[in-house]
Structure 1
Amino acid sequence: MSQTVGDFLIERLHAWGVRKIFGYPGDGINGVFGALQRAGGKIEFIQVRHEEMAAFMASAYAKFTGELGVCIATSGPGASHLLTGLYDARMDHMPVLAIVGQQARTSIGAHYQQELDLNAMFKDVAGAFVQTAMAPAQMRHLVDRAVRTAVSERVVTALIIPNDLQDEPYEEPKRAHGFTFSGIGYARPKVVPYERDLQEAAKILNEGKKVAMLIGAGCVDAVDEVIAVAEKLGAGCAKALLGKFVLPDDLPWATGTIGLLGTEASSNMMAECDTLLMIGSGFPWAEFLPKEGQARGVQIDIKGDMLSIRYPMECNLQGDAAETLRELLPLLQKKADRSWQEKIVGWTARSWDVAAAQAKKTAHPVNPQRVTHELSPRLPERCIVTSDSGSCANWYARDLKARRGMMGSLSGSLASMGAAVPYAIGAKFAHPDRPVVALVGDGAMQMNNMAELITAAKYHHLWSNKTFVVCVFNNEDLNQVTWEQRVMEGNPKFVASQQIPNVPYHKFGELIGFKGIYVDDPENLADAWDQALRSDKPVVLEVKTDPEVPPLPPHITFQQAANFMSMLAKGDQREKNVILGAARQVIGSLLPGHADK
């Protein structure tokens, strides 16, 4: 049998280093799946429950390996289902290739079954490169450009292949007008600013008396350099959510996360600094950065379009974080006065103490913050932690202490629900020798994470390390939005939109072969985590948590407090004493010392 277009596609992807593809089959992509089967395992196919999850897994795989993530789907609804996961990759600057089927070339434009305008549909999410293959000789340069564009620009690309073309005999391009010859390979360049620009940045940083640093996922390969710069400048360093596991939390001047899900230490540091050094981060909430004009700014980012879009920086450096910091370090003067950094150390210690005290406060039945508080010291070495969006992301951000060698992530810029379990599965396929823990709210669990437990059940025997724990915060509430309604809008909880069914998640886990653990007593949490982390099979740990523990930002404004009190006046379906208890926490954040009165 001659080599088909589908066979060539798989062979070319393998030559580019692709070894895993996440997806779901369908008749619009059958020719490529036949080629995958004929390839005899050269590329492993991971079958998901839903195409959106395949795209999330490809995004997570790229995050946890630094390599290209690949997902595949059929035409029509299969292709459209990919979009949310692909937007997650796009917005977090991950290299992902989507391969999708299309109806036969002769039927395109005929309003045919499952015929969508895929070029138009993918143009936003994969705008850097989205093309439809129309002839066998095209495939070589289409595959090469799709892969090279994705990895070089750290973007999503899409390759659309009509189903009739997939089984056509492959043809090499002719040496004739109208044909092109492409090749395999990409070497990442060393990207650093010019010396004069580094000198300008160093001058600003050397003149600063109170330097604050903010890092993100772009610093994942620059940990030592970040530490060296902070030590030299006597600075503190806050972490954007995607950078939470980049910098270890045992550094006394590492203030933790920043923003709505951040710490008071990070907030205080930004409020008082006179110089800001921002590296490898697109942190979105400008209100948590210094006031305009308060601080001089230096920013380093590999992508020029991410510079000076959150804070008006005085010096903008386009470059790789590690390489740029190495060039910058010799130009920096070691600050003799350490009083600023010592102040930051005090704020940071207090933030951890406050988080620990809040985690131990009485709740009904379990304080959700205590779930992550008890997990933190038990995190295995080299573990990978994923979180969903929602209130569980607050506890992920504030209570887990990252250690060197650990990894963690979530849907960052998109902040999509439903990513924690597919991220965890993607992490396991990226690093089957590492323990993985996923933190999931019950809303996200019901949305799509429960189905992907079946995927984990199917494949866990392939993972050399068996630790795979999915912790579900069961509070029967879409909790983050409930609190946003209360504090941001001044409205009571809207039961029709917020209350969700009570589901025995641990029992569902047991039905498909997981170990199920249920906790409704905070005193049993520590033992539950110990059991889960030493289990020789996947675990669903379900904790019955209190929805009235507010996921508060580090500083509550008077307007937010006023909104909250206005909401109480309107009435809320929850018990009055519980709401008043939450109100005391809100007022306590505004007026320290009054939280327990």
Structure 2
Amino acid sequence: MSKNVSDFLVQRLSEWGVKRIFGYPGDGINGIMGALNRANGKIDFIQVRHEEMAAFMACAHAKFTGEVGVCLATSGPGAIHLLNGLYDAKLDHQPVVAIVGQQKRASLGGNYQQEVDLVSLFKDVAHEYVQMASTPAQMRHLVDRAMRIAQAERNVCCIIIPNDIQEMEAEKPPREHGSVFSGLGYAMPRAVPHAEELGRAAEVLNAGEKVAMLVGAGALHATDEVVAAAELLGAGIAKALLGKAAVPDDIPFVTGSIGLLGTKPSYDMMMDCDTLLMVGSSFPYSEFLPQEGQARGVQIDINSRMISIRYPMEVNLVGDSAETLRLLMPLLTKKEDRSWRDRIEKNVHKWWETMEERAMESANPINPQRVFWELSARLPDNCIITCDSGSAANWYARDLKIRQGMMASLSGGLATMGPGVPYAIAAKFAHPGRVAIALVGDGAMQMNGINELITISKYWQRWSDPRLVIMVLNNRDLNQVTWEQRAMEGDPKFKASQDLPDFPYARLAELIGLQGIRIDQPEQLAEAWDQALGAKRPVVLETYTDPDVPPLPPHITFKQAKAYASAVLQGDSDSIDIIKASMKQIF
């Protein structure tokens, strides 16, 4: 039987190295689903519970492998559902290709059922490349260009395929005017700055007496180079959230996360430094960076669009972070005066003591910080950690000590709720022999994590190491927003919007063949983590935690303190409890 367009699509994706597609079926992609079936496992189709989850998983696949993530959805509503996950990939600069169905070409423009202008719909999220197939001969260059552009631009691309095209006989482009003949393959070029710019950067860095480094996701592959540069410069290293795994937290001069979810050592270092070296980060919050004019700046980034948009840099080095640092370091003079470094290390040591003290403070019933602190020492070697947006991200950022060889991620640029569980699922498919841990609040779990437990139940026995732990903070509150209302707006908790149902997460896990553990006392935490991390099947660890423990920023401004006081004075429903909990954390 001759191949149709869908068979060619699957074959071409396989030739590009695609081994897995995340998606959900529908009649708008029946032709493609048939081709995947006929391919006899050449590409593994992973059936999710919702197309948004497919896009999240494609994004996570890209994050944890460096490969292009691919997701598949039907026309109309299926395509629409992809958007949030695709924006997650776009804002975190991840290579993802979305393949979506469309109604027959003859019906387009006829107000047909499920007819949506998909080119316009995807024009922003896939702005680098979004095209609809109009003839079978097009399919070759649509696939080739989408895969290549996704890798080259580290962005989202989209191919739209009407369902009548899917079932037509595959055609080679005719050798005639107007045809396009494309080919396979892409290798990232070596990107390094000019020698003159490296020299200018070295002059700035060598002149500095108090150098601070800030690293992000663009430095994840440059751990050794970042640490070596910091040693030469006597610098401390702060980390943006997406760069949490870029350098280990057991290095004494790593100050940890930066920003509202960051640490006091990172804040103090930025406020006192005279030189800033930013590597692979687009950290957006200027109030946590040095004041303009306080520090001289050098930035390294592979993307020239991201240069000097967060702090007015004196020298901008466009290039790969590892390669650029390797070329820069021979030009650096090792700083003999280590007083700045000594101060940073003392602050870091004191901070970890503070974190332990805060985690061990009593709460009603469990202090959420202790959940993360108890996990930190138990993290398996080379594990993969995912986190959701919400108050869980505070404790993930501050209380977990990442070691070399681990991977970790969350939704950085979009900061959307919902990716914690699908990220972990994608991690298990990409690395089935590694332990994966998802750290999720009950809001995100109720939004979509519950449904993806069904996906875990469907597939977990395929993984060589079955250990996947979903930890749920059950605090019956949309906690991060509750605290933002108090500390930023001065408003008391709005119970109608913030209170969540008390759902039995662990019991649900048991019902669908997973292991469920529920704890409501802090003394149970250590044993619960040991049990979950040693289990023979995926586990939902439900921790009944106190919503009134405040996620304190590294520096409390007068405006924040005034807003907090206003919320309390207006009769916040939890006023007494949050005052008690805040006093324990501050003093």
TM-score grouping bracket, smaller chain normalisation: over 0.9
User: How far 1:568 sits from its partner (Å)?
Assistant: 1.1
Letter in 2 for 1:491: D
Q: CA deviation at 1:583?
A: 4.4
Correspondence 1:445-460 to 2 at 5 A: 445-460=445-460
Post-superposition shift, 1:284?
Answer: 1.3
Q: Who is 2:564 aligned against?
A: 564
Partner in structure 2 of residue 191 of structure 1: 191
CA drift at 1:584 = 2.6
What are the superposed Cα offsets for residues 277-312 of structure 1, whole Å, 9 maximum, x if unpaired?
Answer: 000011111110000100000000000011111100
Q: Secondary structure at the match of 2:377?
A: helix
The question of 1:366 aligning with 2:378 is answered no
Report the alpha carbon displacement of residue 180 of structure 1 after superposing the two structures with TM.
1.1
The answer as to whether partners of 1:532 and 1:539 remain within 8 angstroms in 2 is yes
Question: 1-side partners of 2:505 and 2:533: how far apart?
Answer: 18
TM-score using structure 2 length: 0.99
Provide the residue aligned with 2:495 in structure 1.
Answer: 495
* Structure 2 letter corresponding to 1:560: Q
Distance in structure 1 (CA, Å) of the matches to 2:523 and 2:584: 23
Give the aligned partner of residue 584 of structure 1: 583
CA distance in 2, matches of 1:367, 1:562: 25
Residue in structure 1 matched with residue 49 of structure 2 by the alignment: 49
Equivalent-residue separation in structure 2 for 1:168 and 1:425 (angstroms)? 35
Aligned to 1:83: 83
SS of residue in 1 equivalent to 2:393 = helix
- Any idea what the Cα deviations from partners look like across 1:228-261, whole Å, max 9, x if unmatched? 1000000000000001011101110000000011
Residue type matched to 2:148 in 1? R
Question: In the aligned structure 1, how far is the partner of 2:576 from the partner of 2:167?
Answer: 68
For 1:350 and 1:46, the matched residues in 2 are separated by 46
Alpha-carbon RMSD across the aligned residues, in angstroms, is 0.7
CA contact (8 A) 2:257 2:398 kept: yes
Q: Which residue of 2 aligns with 1:154?
A: 154
Indicate conservation of the 8 Å contact 1:60/1:423, yes or no. Answer: yes
**Partner in structure 2 of residue 66 of structure 1:** 66
Question: How much has 1:552 moved relative to structure 2?
Answer: 1.4
Q: Which amino acid is 1:158 matched to?
A: C
1:540, 1:582 → 2: CA distance? Answer: 27
Superposed displacement of residue 582, structure 1: 3.6
5+ residue gaps, structure 1, are 589-594
Q: CA deviation at 1:392?
A: 0.3
Q: Distance in 2 between matches of 1:567 and 1:461?
A: 49
Counterpart residue type for residue 578 of structure 1: D
- Between the aligned partners of 2:584 and 2:26, the Cα distance in structure 1 is 52
User: Does structure 1 residue 380 correspond to structure 2 residue 371?
Assistant: no
Look up the equivalent residue of 1:438 and give its one-letter code.
Answer: A
Mapped partners of 1:232, 1:579: distance in 2: 45
Shift of 1:577: 2.8
Question: Per the alignment, in what secondary structure is the counterpart of residue 488 of structure 1?
Answer: helix
The one-letter amino acid paired with 2:268 is N
Cα deviation, 1:288-338, whole Å, max 9, x if unaligned, reads 000010000000000001111110001011100000001001000000000
Structure 1 CA distance for aligned equivalents of residues 554 and 582 of structure 2: 15
Q: Secondary structure at the match of 1:116?
A: coil
Could you tell me the percent identity over the aligned residues? 64
Matching residue of 2:464 = 464
Per the alignment, residue 511 of structure 1 pairs with: 511
What residue in structure 2 maps to residue 226 of structure 1? 226
CA distance in 1, matches of 2:175, 2:582: 75
Q: 1:585 deviation in Å?
A: 5.5
Contact persistence 2:301–2:307 (CA under 8 A): yes
Q: Does 1:292 align with 2:321?
A: no
Q: CA deviation at 1:581?
A: 1.3
Alignment of 1:234-383 (within 5 A): 234-383=234-383
1:99 is matched by which residue type in structure 2? I
For residues 140 and 174 of structure 2, the distance between their equivalents in structure 1, rounded to whole angstroms, comes to 12
1:564 and 1:583 in contact (8 A); partners too: no
Q: Deviations over 1:192-248 (max 9, x none)?
A: 000000000000000000000000010111111001100000000000000101110
Equivalences for residues 63-212 of structure 1 within 5 A: 63-212=63-212
Partner of residue 19, structure 1: 19
Secondary structure, counterpart of 2:164 in structure 1: helix
Q: Aligned partners of 2:486, 2:568: CA distance in 1, in Å?
A: 9
- Give the distance between the partners of 2:576 and 2:223, measured in 1 at CA: 46
Secondary structure, in 3 states, of the residue corresponding to 1:101? strand
CA distance in 2: counterparts of 1:509 and 1:56, whole angstroms: 22
1:520 aligns to 2:526 (yes or no): no
Quote the offset at 1:550 in angstroms.
Answer: 0.7
- Given residue 213 of structure 1, which amino acid in structure 2 is its aligned partner? M
Q: Does residue 553 of the first structure (1) align with residue 553 of the second (2)?
A: yes
Q: Distance in 2 between matches of 1:53 and 1:481?
A: 23
* Distance in 2 separating the partners of 1:580 and 1:183: 64
Letter in 2 for 1:244: K
Aligned mates of 1:100, 1:579 — CA distance in 2: 48
Per-residue CA deviations over 1:33-62 (Å, capped at 9, x if unaligned) read 100000000000000000000000000000
Q: How far apart are the structure 1 equivalents of 2:304 and 2:139?
A: 31
Conserved? CA contact 1:210–1:274, under 8 Å: yes
1:433-477 superposed Cα distances (whole Å, 9 cap, x missing partner):
100000000000000010001001111011111110000000000
How many residue pairs align between the two structures?
587
Partner of 1:421: 421
Distance 1:477 1:122 in 2: 34
1:394-405 equivalences under 5 Å are: 394-405=394-405
2:549/2:578 contact within 8 Å kept: no
What runs of 5+ residues in structure 2 fail to find an aligned partner? none
The equivalent of 1:592 in structure 2 is none
Give, in whole Å, the separation in 2 of the partners of 1:211 and 1:583.
34
Q: Secondary structure of 1:428's partner?
A: helix
Deviation at residue 566 of structure 1 after TM alignment:
1.1
